[in-house]
Amino acid sequence: MPQSNDSQQASANGPQKVWGGVFREPTDKRVESFSESVSFDKRLADHDIDGSIAHARMLAACEIITAEEATAIVDGLEEIRGEITAGRFEFTAAKEDIHLHIESALTTKLGDIGRKLHTARSRNDQVATDLRLYCRHAMDRIDGGLLELQRSFLGFAMREQGLVIPGYTHLRRAQPVLASHQLLSWCEKFARDRERLADCRGRTNVLPLGSGALAGTSLPIDREHVKHALGFTAVAANSLDAASDRDFVCELAFVLSLAAVHLSQWAEEWILWSTEEFGFLQLPEGFCTGSSIMPQKINPDVLELIRGKSARMIGNVQSLLVLLKGLPTAYNRDLQEDKESIFDSIDTLQAMLGVAAPLVAGTKFDHARVVATLGRGHLDATSLMEALIAQGMPQRTAHETVGHLVRQAMTRNVSLTELTDQEFSRECAGWDGTLRSALGAFRAVERMDSFGSTAPARVADQMALWQQRLFSSADA
């Protein structure tokens, strides 16, 4: 068997690069620190080791290395995992990235056996595999965080059954709704986020390892073996595409950013609703902070930061798309820049979810203040209009009629319920007072009884469904 005679040699300027054979000059130190990624990709270590273990076992199963060599490699990798976990592992820019760190530590332990691990593999398909594993894991954690948040909203909806609040469009009083209905609306948004996450997970869970640098390999590998070992559902079919495909990173960044946008919208609403001016909500004090100069302040900083942090996540989607747009086929080193953006989006959303769920769980409506405002803004106008329509009046006529009645009420500074029968009769021929049953915020809510509407019976049905969806283990 041909042997190289420089297998363990280190250059005078530090460790020999794994790719150094053809080079006559050492890497410039400035290039080392410019091009290193280990400072941020070391968080891939666990997945890199999992991938390498699966790869080594496959190489043995295919008789490319011996079973003894594979065992030594697996044991060596597990030792390295232990060292990294215990903080006993040294990272250096000279060794570029996490992949080279782990491989070189293995070679230090095992000599030439360690030098066999990279058989039929390139860092291009290796990093693509590691990143898919990392993202898959992150998606599962984030899905759990979104589920917790949904459960908090459902819990709040259940505690507030029966409370009517003003509903807004254009941030103007529109129609009354149940607080529970409003709270469940967040469950819907986060359910869609979870669906998108699951969908994205499917496309992420495809194995690139075995694609080599770009062209595959001439060695008789078994990619199905690795697929099963790592829990992938498919094997990527085109080596050129697989080694450089980062669609899953962009998709995930987008899915996370949309969840962050939902959180930001919610945060904005609750910042408003907890102001002295609205006074609807009492936020838990443990989730507010004070002012260093104004002793009376209790500020909604957590909600503001949730709103604020979503900005960077939106930026990350843009960074990733721009990163990819100019790349020709197959791996280009630009791709190393994908990690900080996606890691940041994952970390940020997780951090947001970590505070959002308990904040929701600790928040209360100020019933007295909410109920005291229900008479304002003619929230029952649409209910009256629909009652007229139900009696046969054309919609446009009913709209105009109620418009006149509202104007009359505004002129006298009263609510629609306070108009006299005479005033109603002037606008509606045949007024006999029965339509008063459409007036008042509570009655208006009760009448909104079609599927998806805010009537108490409908909302109770939805709460029961959510209870099933979020707490039955099959679905949760």
State the catalytic residues: 170, 291
What end-to-end distance do the CA atoms of the chain give, in Å? 56
40 near 340, Cβ under 8 Å? yes
Residues 27-56 that bind ligand ARG (CB under 6 A): 37, 41
| Binding-site member from 335, 393, 428, 459 for ligand ARG (CB under 6 A) | 335
From 85-93, 119-127, 247-255, 258-266, give the range in contact with ligand ARG by CB under 6 A. 119-127
Question: Which lies closer to ligand ARG via its Cβ, residue 35 or residue 373?
Answer: 35
- Does 124 bind ligand ARG (CB under 6 A)? Our answer is yes
Secondary structure of residue 328 in the 3-state scheme = coil
Number of residues that bind ligand ARG (CB under 6 A): 9
- 143 contacts: CB under 8 Å, gap ≥ 6: 194, 197, 198
Q: How far is the CB of 204 from ligand ARG (least distance, A)?
A: 17
Binding mask 69-108 for ligand ARG (x = CB under 6 A): ----------------------------x-----------
Q: How far is the CB of 282 from ligand ARG (least distance, A)?
A: 48
Q: How far is the CB of 43 from ligand ARG (least distance, A)?
A: 12
- DSSP state, 42? G
Q: How far is the CB of 106 from ligand ARG (least distance, A)?
A: 17
Question: Which lies closer to ligand ARG via its Cβ, residue 335 or residue 470?
Answer: 335
Secondary structure of residue 281 in the 3-state scheme = strand
Nearest-angstrom CA–CA distance, 48 and 71: 17
| Binding-site member from 336, 345, 383, 415 for ligand ARG (CB under 6 A) | 336
Residue 217, phi then psi, degrees to nearest 5: -150, 155
- Does 127 bind ligand ARG (CB under 6 A)? Our answer is yes
Question: Which lies closer to ligand ARG via its Cβ, residue 30 or residue 333?
Answer: 333
Strand partners, 178: 164
Nearest to 284 by CA among 349, 180, 357, 369: 357
Question: Which lies closer to ligand ARG via its Cβ, residue 130 or residue 423?
Answer: 130
Q: Length of the chain, please?
A: 476
- 104 contacts: CB under 8 Å, gap ≥ 6: 15, 18, 95
Residue 322: which H helix or E strand, with range?
helix 301-325
User: The tokens of 163 are what?
Assistant: 């409370």
Contact positions toward ligand ARG, by CB under 6 A? 37, 41, 97, 123-124, 127, 333, 335-336
